[in-house]
Amino acid sequence: MKIATIAMAALTGLLVLNGAPRPAAAEVLRVLTGGPSSSLNVAMNRAVVVESDTPFSELSIANPGIADISTLSDRSIYVLGKAPGRTTLTILGLDGGLIANVDVHVTPDIAEFRERLRQILPNEPIEVRTANDGIVLSGIVSSISRLDAAMQLAQRYAPERVSNLMTVGGTQQVMLKVRFSEVNRDTAQNLGVSIAAGNPRGSVGTGIFSDGSVASAALSGTAYTSNTPRFGSLGVRLGGGSFAAQVLLEALETNGMARTLAEPNLTALSGQEASFLAGGEYPIPVRDSDGGISIDYKPFGVELSFTPRVLDDNVINLTMNAAVSGIDGSVSTGPGSDPVLAFRRRETSTTVELRDGESFAVAGLLEDDFRNSARQVPWLGDVPILGALFRSADYQRAQTELVIVITAHLVTPTRGEALMLPTDRVRPPSERELFLNGQVAAGNTRGAVAEVSRQEFGGSYGYTMD
């Protein structure tokens, strides 16, 4: 029985030696009795062996959550890193005296992180270092997407403890050329008939003559003013004496067209937002909680904001928000003599990918409003032919079409001497040019700029239209 116990103990010891981490596989730190305090760096989930020159009797670790310890012999200590941080290992001798205090610094396992980084981003010269309990990345990467990939991988090893000192090489500035083109077409027709009959003591009427005072004034020969919009009118008065009749025909036809064109050019760094507004700001009174009135400003006009991201192979990922808005005078709200007008707004938001010099269009923003109404005297307006004298008809139609064309370019800065400003084309005139020649602006005398400045823009086209 004793022999079996001894064999079992030997087998158990052999298994422990084979199963436990061997000191030879770990780094070794040697401490001397009475020597200066030592510092020990341990990677998380890795181990380091601490060897003492004299036997020890007691060990203690200040924070077991950061590092774990176990004895290999009376002179060797096995230290395992558990979580990033700092703690202290205290070693006491056989007489209870202090052998050494070891400052244990547990850091993320950057050896494994470096290996994974080389596998995922093999051609990126990214340097990895540790700082306190975090990871520091530095170097020059080829694109913003590879930078984001390295940061996401680093967050796996040191969550919320990653410092980014990397920079992106190559062209990382994007210029966006945008063309807004909007066309509004409006047409309206109005035909109204008003009839009044009676005498100065009493009358009946339709249309604007449905007001008794207006009808009596018209029958008595007094001039009247119509409140309805009109461009042409025809009035006929019949009868005399104790009976008179007045017929008024009013007609209106309008046709309008408006064109809005804006061509902003914006440049932004990859990952940064750029915005543009060509229009204005409309003041809106706002009542606060104290009963006072403050002014809030709402922008209107052509608005654009975009965020570019340069990906691999110079592919541009573009997130864009565009809007065209204007003040709508037909709708208002608020009491008093100064009502607040409404806004008409068309906007779009999209995310696309394109290469340098490629374009895409946002179209199909078509709006078509149609309104048709008729007002008539009951029963009399339904009489064939003669019923037209007892009816008034309105017809309105409005069409709006908006097209946005976007072109993206990768750009780099240039020297200021190569750029030309619009003010370079003209200069203030001299006294002789102003008073003798009547010139309000003097242009350059040579070169292509002088040719442009000599052109006459007072014809049927505008300055930037043709």
* Domain harbouring 96, CATH code: 2.60.40.1080
Q: Could you tell me if 331 and 389 lie in one domain?
A: yes
Q: Could you tell me if 91 and 231 lie in one domain?
A: no
Q: Could you tell me if 137 and 159 lie in one domain?
A: yes
Find residue 249's DSSP bridge partners. Answer: 193, 234
Q: Could you tell me if 314 and 350 lie in one domain?
A: yes
Domain-embedded: residue 19: no
Q: Could you tell me if 243 and 332 lie in one domain?
A: no
Whether the predicted pLDDT of 232 surpasses 70:
no
302: nearest Cα among 268, 327, 273, 326: 326
Domain-embedded: residue 3: no
Whether the predicted pLDDT of 326 surpasses 50:
yes
Domain count, the chain: 5
- Tokens at 218, concatenated: 């018209």
Give the residue from 229, 248, 267 where a domain finishes. 248
Whether the predicted pLDDT of 25 surpasses 80:
no
Q: Could you tell me if 370 and 305 lie in one domain?
A: yes
Residues 69-91: pLDDT tens digits? 888 888 888 999 888 888 898 88
Mean pLDDT score, 307-313: 82
Domain-embedded: residue 25: no
Mean pLDDT score, 442-459: 53
Domain encompassing residue 132:
110-168
Domain-embedded: residue 30: no
Whether the predicted pLDDT of 245 surpasses 60:
yes
Mean pLDDT score, 197-221: 71
Neighbours of 167 (CB within 10 A): 11
CATH number, position 147: 3.30.1340
Q: Could you tell me if 402 and 432 lie in one domain?
A: no
Q: Could you tell me if 143 and 67 lie in one domain?
A: no
Q: What local confidence, expressed as pLDDT, does residue 6 receive?
A: 38
Q: Could you tell me if 362 and 418 lie in one domain?
A: no
Whether the predicted pLDDT of 447 surpasses 60:
no
Strands (E), 263-339: 265-269, 274-287, 293-310, 316-333
Domain-embedded: residue 13: no
Q: What local confidence, expressed as pLDDT, does residue 461 receive?
A: 40
Mean pLDDT score, 13-24: 38
Residues 132-145: pLDDT tens digits? 778 899 888 877 77
Q: How far apart are CA 259 and CA 237, in angstroms?
A: 45
Among 174-188, 217-231, 246-260, which range has the highest average pLDDT?
Answer: 174-188
Pairing verdict, β 316-333 and 340-354: antiparallel
- SS3 category, 256: strand
Residues 94-121: pLDDT tens digits? 888 888 888 888 887 788 888 888 888 8
Q: What local confidence, expressed as pLDDT, does residue 10 receive?
A: 41
Q: What local confidence, expressed as pLDDT, does residue 222 receive?
A: 65
Of the pLDDT bands very low, low, confident and very high (cuts 50, 70, 90), residue 212 is low
Q: What local confidence, expressed as pLDDT, does residue 452 receive?
A: 53
Q: Could you tell me if 103 and 114 lie in one domain?
A: no
Mean pLDDT score, 23-33: 63
Residues 340-355: pLDDT tens digits? 888 888 888 889 899 8
Burial group, residue 29, by CB count within 10 angstroms (0-12, 13-18, 19+): buried
Q: Could you tell me if 362 and 455 lie in one domain?
A: no
Question: Could you give the C-alpha distances from 32 to 36, 104, 266, in angstroms and in order?
Answer: 8, 16, 67
Domain-embedded: residue 22: no
Mean pLDDT score, 251-262: 74
Residues 163-189: pLDDT tens digits? 888 887 766 788 888 888 878 778 877
Mean pLDDT score, 242-260: 73
Domain-embedded: residue 100: yes
Domain-embedded: residue 9: no
Q: Could you tell me if 103 and 238 lie in one domain?
A: no
Pairing verdict, β 162-168 and 173-199: unpaired
